[in-house]
């Protein structure tokens, strides 16, 4: 089995101790740090944004994977790059001019990702697939951590895998929402390259470092 990249989500971290949280992930099995930005419009919740990313960046050792759950993301791309984003993912559902947004992200020197909600068909990515560095398949409806994994995601990951092959794209497939030991293996087998995990990693009694190591071991 290929080893996927592991991307713990800060949404589930102790937000009153972001320096300590970022530093303890520095020596963990985390490959990327997943940063969820919510605007209270695209999704029914508000999380954190640019100043918090700047603060995390000062202590981060891994690339920061910014997931923009916001409307009109085109207005904030340069600001997120400047604040420390290494990859920027926008939602298909938030971008009527998706091709332009993807080119803008790449021109900023960031990895360009597109996320699709659980009810958005994979086939809608057909004409943008070749331009992408990352496809994020949402396995919950975005807006909150700690939700249950939607099983239909496994089928969608396989569909993205064949769509990317057909398009000759080497984009990575990322899965986000309700990821745990219970579904990580099948997700990787279906084609997932990056696993985001929030609650599973941060709410475990043994803590995020041990839980990430356990996930890494489980997938070896």
Please give the residue ranges that form the binding site for Zn ion (CB under 5 A): 36, 67, 176
Closest CB to ligand DX5 among 118 and 143?
143
Chosen residue from 49, 113, 177, 191 binding ligand DX5 by CB under 6 A? 177
Residue 68 found at the interface with ligand DX5 (CB under 6 A): no
Chosen residue from 49, 84, 198, 208 binding ligand DX5 by CB under 6 A? 198
Q: How many CA atoms lie within 13 A of 198 on its CB side?
A: 24
**Are 88 and 71 within 8 A, CB to CB?**
no
Phi, psi angle pair for 145, to nearest 5°? -80, 170
Residues 6+ apart with CB under 8 A from 166: 129
**Catalytic residue among 65, 86, 176, 193, which?**
176
Chosen residue from 53, 184, 197, 212 binding ligand DX5 by CB under 6 A? 197
Q: How far apart are CA 86 and CA 62, in angstroms?
A: 9
Residue 9 found at the interface with ligand DX5 (CB under 6 A): yes
Would the annotation count 36 as a binding residue?
yes
Report in angstroms the alpha-carbon separations of 85 from 88, 91, 219: 6, 16, 27
The kind and range of the H/E element at 158 are: helix 153-167
Report in angstroms the alpha-carbon separations of 13 from 99, 128, 161, 200: 33, 33, 31, 11
Residue 73 found at the interface with ligand DX5 (CB under 6 A): no
Chosen residue from 83, 140, 172, 173 binding ligand DX5 by CB under 6 A? 140
Q: Please report, as ranges, the residues that interact with ligand DX5 according to CB under 6 A.
A: 9, 11-12, 34, 36, 67, 140, 142-147, 176-179, 196-200
Binding residues for a divalent metal cation: 34, 36, 67, 176
Residue ranges of the annotated binding site for substrate are 9, 67, 143-146, 176-178
Which residue ranges are tagged as binding site? 9, 34, 36, 67, 143-146, 176-178
């Amino acid at each position: 089995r290929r080893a996927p990249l592991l991307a713990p989500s800060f949404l589930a971290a102790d937000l009153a101790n972001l320096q300590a949280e970022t530093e303890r992930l520095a020596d963990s099995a985390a490959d990327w740090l997943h940063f969820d930005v919510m605007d209270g419009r695209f999704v029914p919740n508000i999380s954190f944004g640019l100043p918090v990313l700047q603060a995390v960046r000062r202590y981060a050792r891994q690339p920061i994977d910014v997931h923009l759950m916001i409307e009109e993301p085109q207005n904030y791309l340069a600001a997120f790059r400047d604040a420390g984003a290494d990859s920027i993912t926008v939602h298909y559902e938030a971008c009527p001019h998706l091709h332009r947004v993807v080119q803008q992200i790449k021109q900023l020197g960031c990895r360009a990702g597109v996320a699709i909600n659980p009810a958005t068909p994979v086939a809608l990515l057909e004409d943008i697939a070749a331009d992408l560095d990352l496809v994020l398949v949402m396995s919950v409806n975005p807006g909150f951590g700690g939700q249950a994994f939607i099983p239909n995601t496994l089928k969608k990951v396989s569909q993205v895998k064949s769509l990317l092959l057909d398009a000759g794209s080497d984009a990575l497939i990322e899965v986000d929402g309700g990821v745990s030991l219970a579904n990580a293996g099948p997700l990787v087998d279906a084609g997932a390259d990056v696993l985001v995990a929030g609650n599973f990693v941060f709410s475990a009694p043994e803590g995020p470092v041990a839980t990430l190591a356990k996930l890494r071991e489980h997938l070896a």
